[in-house]
Structure 1
Amino acid sequence: MTGTTLAQGKLTPYDNVSLPAGLEEFIVNLENAVDQKDKKFIINHMSANMMNSFGGDGGINEFKEYWNWDSDSTEFWNLMKHILQLDRGKLKQEDVYFIPYVFSEWPETYDPFEHSAITGSNVNVRNKPGLANSQVLGQLTYDIVKVNYEKSYPSFDSPRIKNVNYIGEKLWYYIESLDGKLNGYVYWKYIWSPVNYRLGVTKIEDRWLISFLVEGD
């Protein structure tokens, strides 16, 4: 049985985001570089003071070490592809832009460590963490939800699932709607937290450059 779509606490992306021509061109080129795994483009369009975490010293060399840049198994490409596929927000500062919208548009009303955003329309919420032998309890469309990480799958004391390519800690997130009427499991592709990874690009000397890729707070 499929429940009705809930209609409160939404974080709905904008239908059309108007960006300066130079920034729009940069994002398109960045998307192409990620699709082609173009390492030269990434490094050539990275700020010398690139921020990689809240505890590091920053810089391009730290970025390369952090992301195991010389290895074919770097997770950078998968992460960037996912972030860039999420919808964009508005340009809030003339020289700085953030992706995805879940970070830039997040309402302060909701604790970012306890809540996340559903990032699609009619996203299924299931009674079990999986497609096989699970039932759809209802659907959510761009809702802000509470997340129970202890109930999410896999558990914290379990290793990452081998040969399953997912971004983040969990494959299935256990969520509860804000009105408490719907709870269950949502697949990782359709949920994102404002404290998950986000990308910052900054205009430096008339060039748009990647200035940070961080998670946490």
Structure 2
Amino acid sequence: MKKTTIIFSILMAAIHFGSAQPSKFPPINDITKDKSLVTFVNQLKVAVQKKDKAFLLSALDEKVMSDLGGDGGIAEFKKIWNLDKGDTSIWHQLSRVIELGGAFNKSDPEGRYTFAFPYVHLIDLEDADDYINVGVITGKNVNVREKPDLKAKVLMQLSYDVIWFVEAEQALQKTEGTNPWGDPEWYLIETLDRKKQGWVFWKYVHSPIGYRLYLFKNKQGKWKISAFVAGE
């Protein structure tokens, strides 16, 4: 088995494949179950807000993964996120996944992916292929609009619903516009029963294969970032 496949299998192990497709997936935030984790996450939040590169680098495990097809390591992390040049979107991406909340990963065979942000990544799926197309509404009473426009007609409201990205298997091509960080601004989605479609603003929907942050406690008892990756 190739190294890439092994790493992918480990990182995707957080997605449990259950016996029934859930219709809703409300927020989970297990941080308070470990006081040392609370301290580390709070420090990380402050560092992200201040764009503190020194703290971020100190928080990385020496084998940190930043690319499912890469070799890992801090040098690779710095290169992928362009940290030496300062023009990076990592602060936005980290802020978003952390603010969504996270949970302990019970499917962690190596002990390196103990805690995962965002909670969306831990969704129970009926079929192993579903993670390519599925998404989760991450807010309450989120407007689904007729067009990708904040002034467009509201077709319905969804709260923590599991949805389908329309044509998500083709890199979520049914999108409109981009936000300040270059990500799609709007997503065309379908309800789980595939009876209704509409546009959702980017802040209120997330994919299990979007960016996810993994933390673990090393042998010295310190929390470290073991991976920050995206993709299938």
Same fold flag (TM > 0.5): yes
Matches within 5 A, 1:1-217: 9-14=23-28, 18-90=32-104, 92=106, 96-104=114-122, 106-109=123-126, 111-132=130-151, 134-148=152-166, 149-154=172-177, 161=178, 164-166=179-181, 168=183, 170-205=184-219, 206-217=221-232
The TM-score, its normalising length taken from structure 1, stands at 0.85
**What displacement does 1:188 show?**
0.6
Question: In the alignment, which residue of structure 2 is the partner of 1:4?
Answer: none
Q: What do the CA deviations read for 1:95-124 (whole angstroms, capped 9, x no partner)?
A: 7111110012x1121501111000000000
Classify the secondary structure of the residue corresponding to 1:112.
helix
| Structure 1 vs Structure 2 CA RMSD | 1.9
* 1:61-83 residue CA offsets vs partner (Å, 9 max, x unmatched): 10110001023321111111111
The 2-side partners of 1:64 and 1:14 are apart by 30
Once the two structures are TM-superposed, the CA of residue 88 in structure 1 deviates from its matched residue by: 2.2
Q: 1:144 and 1:115 mapped to 2: Cα distance?
A: 7
Q: CA deviation at 1:16?
A: 6.6
**Shift in Å at residue 91 of structure 1?**
5.3
Deviation at residue 140 of structure 1 after TM alignment = 0.4
Is the contact between residue 31 and residue 37 of structure 2 (CA under 8 Å) also seen in structure 1? no
8 A Cα contact 2:139 2:204, kept in partner: yes
Matched residues, number = 199
What amino acid does structure 2 have at the position aligned with 1:152? Answer: T
The CA distance in 2 between the partners of 1:73 and 1:52, in whole Å, is 17
Q: Decide whether the 8 Å contact of 1:166 with 1:188 is kept in 2.
A: no
Consecutive unaligned residues of structure 1, counting only runs of 5 or more, are: 1-7, 155-160
In the aligned structure 2, how far is the partner of 1:193 from the partner of 1:20?
26
In the aligned structure 1, how far is the partner of 2:198 from the partner of 2:125? 25
Cα deviations across residues 124-144 of structure 1 (Å, max 9, x unaligned)?
Answer: 000111124x11101000000
What secondary structure does 2:174 align onto? strand
Partner of residue 157, structure 1: none
More helix per residue: 2
